Amino acid sequence: MNNEENNTKEKVYVIGHKNPDTDSICSAIAYTALKNQVGCADYIACRAGIVNEETKFVLDYFGVKAPQYIGTVQPEISDIDLNLIRGIESGDSIKRAWDLMDEQGARSVPVLSEGKVEGIVSITDIAQSYMDESDSHVLANAKTKFSSIAETLGGHIICGDHNECFESGKVTIAASSPDVMEGFIEESDLVITGNRFETHFTAIELGAKCLVMCQGSIPTKAIKKLATERDCIIISTPHDTFTTARLINQSIPVSFFMTHENLLTFQLTDSLESVEEMMRINRFHNFPVIDKDGMYLGLISRRRLLNINRKKVILVDHNEITQAVDGIEQAEVLEIIDHHRLGGFETLGPVYFRNQPVGCTATIITQMYKEMGIIPDKKIAGLLTAAIISDTLMFRSPTCTEADRITCTKLAEIAGVEPRELAHKMFEAASSLQSKTPEEICYQDFKIFSNEGYSFGVSQITSMDQEELDKIKEKVEPSLKVVMENQDLDMMFLMMTNIIETSSELLCYGSMAGKTAREAFGIPKDEEKIILKGIVSRKKQFLPTFVEALHN
């Protein structure tokens, strides 16, 4: 498929939760690969957070790039159709600006210099140019090109420099006798005249810079020669004197009237929420949109904000809004593939929802490959294998089912790996926690839950080495308070899971965190540590028991 065909396809983002684990990342990649084989959109694997050490190892092991990071799916300017109004240059006349607006049905046009926005000129600016009591020197004050004057008047330059500008003098009409003309025509003036030799001669002799001859008049050879000698430009226009006098101010360059100070521009990545707020306090109807290099892309108006193309999203490995990528409320969720409890997620419309009581989302996605009659390639099979190993703690987790075991074995055969050997390498990579900051450890596998009016966060780290967990505990325990306050939670927990011993030490922070946890798991007050023997699953073991104690 060529790039042009791909660009016409609708984009759909496949993404896991904010603090992605190996299942979240690998399932997003694998499901994206499946959808791109059977779907009609352009499916893109994404992540909403930092890739942890275990997942990094898995991706490197199978030679797969990490999904692109996407911090929010909130609608941006890139999600609406821009008004692709062509721009003009600052030296172009307001007549040309008016014609361009009329041609494109626009209320304003951008003024560009080498593709970058210098200003913007609107119908209001043009109307203002007529309503203002401009004096007869306005064309000179605006440094109007003689070529623009000729173009505006539908005429042509008979003699003189096309690139020269009218820089001094006034505009006047020579409708009087030569004797009277001597009283008001001054050096450098632009003189609108008819077809009278005496008028032409007198105006040039008096130092006129330009003669505009109406009704298609052309100068005699003598006048043309005299004009050339005196550096006087002659323009011939088909219009009569009245029409010429009425139209000539339209030749003024747009730079003279355009808005260029405090000009508000937007970029494609600006959120529509912030754009709408800025528009509300600004008087303009249209605003230029530029790329990261400052190049003009198009215009955006208040009206176009009504036609939002919401980002289309498929969620994997979660169905709770607190764990979803920012801006999910304003996105269009198409599908949810998950193996967790139902989290009361609300969507804008009906979705395809698949939730199964298995140990890993990757198991469900592998079933979907089979249902579609597609065998995952070696790399995808490897990622799915690793995801099941990670989420089930190599089948030690109580969330693990027979379906997970069978699926993992079949995937490992396709990937050409030995599950236990891969598990050992993965868990060893995940145990490399000493180089991380305390807060990084807390956020490595972090989820927020709400129940009974309380919100609480539960982080989990795993290791095969109890000594390493003991060292980490010393530096990470003070950070529980920081995370709790930063996330505006009532309680914060960290499960420090020893994979080999199949147990977890629970660290707590919050006024009722420790008390509720001890009541939930029957840990006496006189025991210094809260050791949860046999508990390694946050979802199936810790959460249900803790929520029940919170309810009671």
Instruction: Give pLDDT tens digits for 267-312.
Output: 888 888 788 778 877 767 788 888 888 899 988 887 777 667 788 9
Token pair for residue 431?
């145990």
Instruction: Give pLDDT tens digits for 341-382.
Output: 887 777 777 889 999 999 999 999 999 999 999 999 999 999
Instruction: Give pLDDT tens digits for 139-152.
Output: 888 888 999 999 99
Q: Is the same domain home to 65 and 152?
A: no
Q: Is the same domain home to 242 and 225?
A: yes
pLDDT at 3: 46
Where among 256, 280, 300 does a domain terminate?
256
Is pLDDT above 90 for 546? yes
Q: Is the same domain home to 502 and 361?
A: no
234 lies in some domain: yes
User: Rounded to an integer, what is the distance from CA 112 to the centroid of its chain?
Assistant: 23
Token pair for residue 262?
């405090």
64-78 burial code (b ≥16 CB/10 A, e <16) = bebbeebebbbbbbb
If you average pLDDT over residues 186-199, what whole number do you get? 90
Which is nearest to 205 in space by CA: 182, 234, 183? 182
Cα–Cα dist 321/344, whole Å: 8
**Could you give the percent of the chain with pLDDT greater than 70?**
96
Better pLDDT: 134 or 108 = 108
88 lies in some domain: no
Cα–Cα dist 258/142, whole Å: 12
Q: How many domains does the chain have?
A: 3
Q: Is the same domain home to 136 and 234?
A: yes
Cα–Cα dist 92/106, whole Å: 17
Q: Is the same domain home to 148 and 59?
A: no
Q: Is the same domain home to 112 and 251?
A: yes
Q: Is the same domain home to 100 and 249?
A: yes
- Cα-atom radius of gyration of the chain, to the nearest Å? 37
Cα–Cα dist 514/25, whole Å: 32
Q: Is the same domain home to 65 and 209?
A: no
280 lies in some domain: no
Q: Is the same domain home to 101 and 226?
A: yes
Name beta bridge partners: 451. Answer: 454
Where among 401, 429, 457 does a domain terminate?
429
Mean pLDDT over the full length of the chain: 88
298-324 burial code (b ≥16 CB/10 A, e <16) = bbbbeebeeeeeebbbbbbbbbbebbb
Give the residue numbers spanning the domain of 126: 94-256
Question: What CATH number is associated with residue 358?
Answer: 3.90.1640.10
Better pLDDT: 184 or 411 = 411
Instruction: Give pLDDT tens digits for 433-442.
Output: 667 788 888 8
pLDDT at 132: 56
What is the residue type of 389?
Answer: I
Q: Is the same domain home to 204 and 140?
A: yes
pLDDT at 433: 67
Q: Is the same domain home to 245 and 100?
A: yes
Q: Is the same domain home to 157 and 249?
A: yes
Question: What CATH number is associated with residue 246?
Answer: 3.40.1390.20
Q: What is the DSSP string of 137-197?
A: THHHHTTEEHHHHHHHTT-EEEES-TT-EE-SS-EEE--S-HHHHTTT--TT-EEEE-S-H
